[in-house]
Amino acid sequence: MNDLTRKLGISLPFIQGGMGNISHAELAVAVSEAGGLGTIGAGTLSLNYLEDMIIKIRKQTSKPFAINVPLSVQKNVDELIKLIIGYQIPVVSLSAGNPAPFITKLKNENIIVICVVANERQAIKAEEKGADFIVAEGVEAAGINAPEELTTFTLVPKICDSVAIPVIAAGGIGDGRGVLAAMSLGAQGVQLGTRLIATKDAKVHSLYKRALCAADSDGTMIVGRSYGKIRRILKTPYGKHLLEEERNNPDLKTYLDLTDENHHILGALEGKFLEGHVNAGQVASIINDIPTVKELFQRMIQEAQTLYNHQLPFGKS
């Protein structure tokens, strides 16, 4: 146990990333039941749909769970915050925008607040406003990323040095080696996204899962860089089409239309890789199977413990 697991009421230091269209009720339940913190990804979903997911989760588990609110993406943030307070959701993660206007309101309702950041300035401001935990997310992560493009290995220790509250590492973590590395850098836990997609509990298209297992070290790509809209996706025919459009038709509105939620659903949920994109982190290159969430967590903990107990190959005369 550490400060993170103790305060969140979880047994394992694993947080589910709030992936839009992916972090649904079933996956969140599987993560929470396996000892981590399951998360609903609010994304662009309607309030009615989100309320239905909250009710479904409450029926299936008594374990803690969270809702991720991407502030610049979700159109009904104020109404969603009211819904969260009304249902007394135990944990909320705030990302993709300025969390300051919402932290105090949530904390006044005894809701734990996690803020996802991309640099130390954001981390310091979130701590000053009362955040309980910081997720330090490197550019290895899937989906929308910050223009700084800082890597997890440099971002996490910098933020751990900059704030006193516990830090959660995100981006590029998918096995016990990543967990141990994150802890060594000063984090108290890890946030997992892409690795959880390649599990039996994720309700995405089977082609998506198989494509993650088949990805090699250059299996992902960045689109949107020329607009300052960094997004890491799986290298697919549609992804290559996006990059060509960006080069030949550098119109922001066109890019936003081509990467909207409808195109994400086409790729991720319907498996139409010619018509829609699928988000994927660089960790895809080390994914080679599709276990249950419970099996994955047990394996990651065993791997981390084995590595930790292994004698270091230096320091002896």
The per-residue pLDDT for range 80-92, each reduced to its tens digit, is 999 999 999 999 9
Q: Rounded to an integer, what distance in angstroms lies between the CA atom of residue 257 and that of residue 263?
A: 8
Q: Rounded to an integer, what distance in angstroms lies between the CA atom of residue 209 and that of residue 198?
A: 5
The per-residue pLDDT for range 237-287, each reduced to its tens digit, is 999 999 999 999 888 999 999 999 999 999 999 999 999 999 999 999 999
The continuous run of DSSP H or E covering 117 comes out as: strand 112-117
Q: Rounded to an integer, what distance in angstroms lies between the CA atom of residue 104 and that of residue 129?
A: 7
Residue 25, token pair as written in the block:
């009720």
Residue 12, token pair as written in the block:
């394992």
pLDDT of residue 290: 98
The per-residue pLDDT for range 126-140, each reduced to its tens digit, is 999 999 999 999 999
Q: What is the mean pLDDT of residues 33-38?
A: 98
pLDDT of residue 314: 56
Q: pTM for this structure?
A: 0.94
Other CB atoms within a 10 A radius of the CB of residue 95 amount to: 23
**Helices (H), ranges, the chain:** 3-8, 25-33, 47-60, 77-86, 100-107, 120-129, 152-162, 176-184, 194-197, 206-214, 237-248, 252-258, 261-268, 293-309
